[in-house]
Chain A
Amino acid sequence: MNKIRSHRPLSPHATIYRWPLNAIMSIMHRITGVGLLAGGFLIVWWFFAGAISESYYDFVSCIVTSIYGDLVMLACLIGFWFHFCNGIRHLFWDVGLTFNERNVMISAILGLLGTAFLTALSLLSIYFWYG
């Protein structure tokens, strides 16, 4: 069956069209969602370490606050805020609001600005709390 299907011509799609902003937001929502798996794992590891002992906690802290750990945590932070902002857009759509081309474009830009703002706010907070 699949062989027969594969001989039929297909309309050009994802690989040929210029991606609208909202399509990029959509695939980024998936990518950040899957990526946050790593963040979830790190947070649970961190709690687990804290429940075991001080020395094990210090060991895990060392890994998480190393340069590689920092990079992963930074990626998780950006991914988290993106998924958060874009998720709110989805919730609006789910109740039937902001569902036209213009509003989708506006909310996409607002989502990106929100991601940038919340990431910057988080990094500044961490900077002011710990130097």
Chain B
Amino acid sequence: MGFQTNFSKVEGLGSSKEGTHHWWMQRLSAVALVPLSLLFVYTFMQTLGTGYQGFVDTYSNLGNAIVAILFLIVAFFHLRLGLQVVIEDYVHSKTWKVLFLIANTLFCWGLMGVGVISIARIAFGFVG
């Protein structure tokens, strides 16, 4: 076994069958983020200094809430894919790699969930 070359270990296994999907999803979310992030950042900057009432008023507006929710969903989806590539490239220990990948997925989906539900709560008029 020790004399086997790295190449012969992987020869004939074929591709992982899912790399293209990851690549495509990253690009698709990137395209969606071009308008979404512009709209989100514009609204966000206008709301930054307006205090609590200004903030609640902004995100009680249906259009602003939709933009913010869509932005958070797509941005965290895109972030998860991007961080996954970085982890796969730089973390070489198998154990740590798997742990980091799990943490990445939980962290990104978790933050997305908290963000979306928070905006929904404001948009539906439960606060303010």
Question: Is B41 interfacial (CB 8 A cutoff)?
Answer: yes
CA of A80 to CA of B46 in the docked complex: distance in angstroms?
Answer: 17
Grouping DSSP codes into helix (H, G, I), strand (E, B) and loop, the B interface class, with mixed when no group exceeds half, is: helix
Nearest neighbor of B30 in chain A, beta-carbon distance: A87
Instruction: Check A37 against B6 for contact (C-beta < 8 Å).
Output: no
Instruction: Check A130 against B48 for contact (C-beta < 8 Å).
Output: yes
- Stretch of A97-105, A106-114, A121-129 contacting B (4+ beta carbons < 8 Å): A121-129
B21-36, CB < 8 A from A: 27, 30-31, 33-34
Question: Is B96 interfacial (CB 8 A cutoff)?
Answer: no
Interface size class for chain A? 20 to 34
Grouping DSSP codes into helix (H, G, I), strand (E, B) and loop, the A interface class, with mixed when no group exceeds half, is: helix
Instruction: Check B56 against A50 for contact (C-beta < 8 Å).
Output: yes
Interface size class for chain B? 35 or more
CA of A18 to CA of B56 in the docked complex: distance in angstroms?
Answer: 51
The count of A-to-B residue pairs whose CB atoms sit within 8 angstroms is 86
CA of A86 to CA of B68 in the docked complex: distance in angstroms?
Answer: 23
Instruction: Check B31 against A51 for contact (C-beta < 8 Å).
Output: no
A47: contacting residue among B2, B30, B46, B119, CB under 8 A: B119
Query: Hey, what's the 0/1 contact readout for A75-86 against B, CB within 8 Å counting as 1?
Result: 000001000100
A residues in contact with B19, CB < 8 Å: none
CA of A90 to CA of B127 in the docked complex: distance in angstroms?
Answer: 41
A44: contacting residue among B34, B118, B126, CB under 8 A: B118
A48: contacting residue among B30, B37, B115, CB under 8 A: B115
* Whole-angstrom distance between the Cβ of A90 and the nearest chain B Cβ: 7
B89-115, CB < 8 A from A: 111-112, 114-115
The 4 A-B pairs with the shortest beta carbon distances in the complex, nearest first, are: A51-B118, A130-B49, A44-B115, A47-B118
